[in-house]
Amino acid sequence: MTLTPWWRNAVVYEVYVRSFADADGDGEGDLRGVRSRLGHLRHLGVDALWLTPFYRSPLADGGYDVADYRAVDPRFGSLGDFDDLVAAAHGHGLRLIVDIVPNHTSDRHRWFQEALASPPGSPARDRYLFRPGGPAGPAGAAGPAGAAGPAGAAEGPPNDWPSAFGGPAWTRLPDGEWYLHLYTPEQPDLNWRNPEVRREFEDILRFWLDRGVDGFRIDVAAGLFKDGTYGDLGGRDRRALHGPVYARSEIHPVYRAWRRILDEYDGDRMAIGEVWTEGPEDLALYLRPDELHQVFQFDLQLAPWSAPAFRDVVASALAAVAGAGAAPTWVLSSHDSVRHVTRYGRPGSAPGLGPARARAALLFMLALPGSAYLYQGEELGLPEVTDLPDAARQDPIWTQSAGGEPGRDGCRVPLPWSGKTEPYGFSADGVRPWLPMPAGWAALTAEAQAPDPASTLSFYREALARRRLLTADLPDGVEWLDSPETALIFRRGPFACALNCGEDPVRMPSGSVLLTSAPLHGDLLAGNSSAWLVPSG
| 183 near ligand GLC, judged by CB under 6 A | yes
Q: Across-strand partners of 178? A: 131, 172
Tell me how far apart the alpha carbons of residues 497 and 518 are, in angstroms, rounded to a whole number.
14
Q: Which one of residues 24, 47, 336, 409 is an interface residue with ligand GLC (CB under 6 A)?
A: 336
Contacts (CB under 6 A) with ligand GLC, residues 265-304: 274
> Between 335 and 468, whose beta carbon lies closer to ligand GLC?
335
Compute the chain's Rg from CA coordinates: 24
Tell me how far apart the alpha carbons of residues 258 and 209 are, in angstroms, rounded to a whole number.
12
Tell me how far apart the alpha carbons of residues 423 and 476 are, in angstroms, rounded to a whole number.
43
> Between 331 and 363, whose beta carbon lies closer to ligand GLC?
331
Q: Is the peptide bond before 123 cis (omega within 30 degrees of 0)?
A: no
Tell me how far apart the alpha carbons of residues 9 and 468 are, in angstroms, rounded to a whole number.
9
| Minimum distance of ligand GLC from residue 155's CB (angstroms) | 28
Mask for 342-381, x = binds ligand GLC (CB under 6 A): ----------------------------------------
Contacts (CB under 6 A) with ligand GLC, residues 82-101: 101
Q: Which one of residues 81, 155, 186, 219 is an interface residue with ligand GLC (CB under 6 A)?
A: 219
> Between 183 and 532, whose beta carbon lies closer to ligand GLC?
183
Cβ contacts of residue 191 below 8 Å, gap of 6+? 126, 127, 128, 129, 197
CB 378 within 8 A of CB 46: no
Does residue 47 have an active-site annotation?
A: no
Annotated catalytic residue within 22, 28, 219, 395: 219
- E strands present in 247-338: 270-273, 294-295, 329-331
| Minimum distance of ligand GLC from residue 171's CB (angstroms) | 16
For 399, the 3-state DSSP assignment is helix
> Between 275 and 508, whose beta carbon lies closer to ligand GLC?
275
> Between 101 and 367, whose beta carbon lies closer to ligand GLC?
101
> Between 160 and 274, whose beta carbon lies closer to ligand GLC?
274
Annotated catalytic residue within 263, 264, 429, 452: 264
Contacts (CB under 6 A) with ligand GLC, residues 419-478: none
For 258, list phi and psi in degrees, rounded to 5.
-65, -40
Q: What residue number has its CB nearest to ligand GLC?
A: 64
Does residue 219 have an active-site annotation?
A: yes
Outline where 407-455 has alpha helix (H): 446-449
| 186 near ligand GLC, judged by CB under 6 A | no
Mask for 56-75, x = binds ligand GLC (CB under 6 A): -----x--x-----------
User: H or E element: which one contains 177?
Assistant: strand 177-180
User: H or E element: which one contains 203?
Assistant: helix 195-210
Helices and strands: H and E segment counts in the chain: 15, 22
Residue ranges binding ligand GLC (CB under 6 A): 61, 64, 101, 183, 219-220, 274, 335-336
What are the residue numbers of the active site? 219, 264
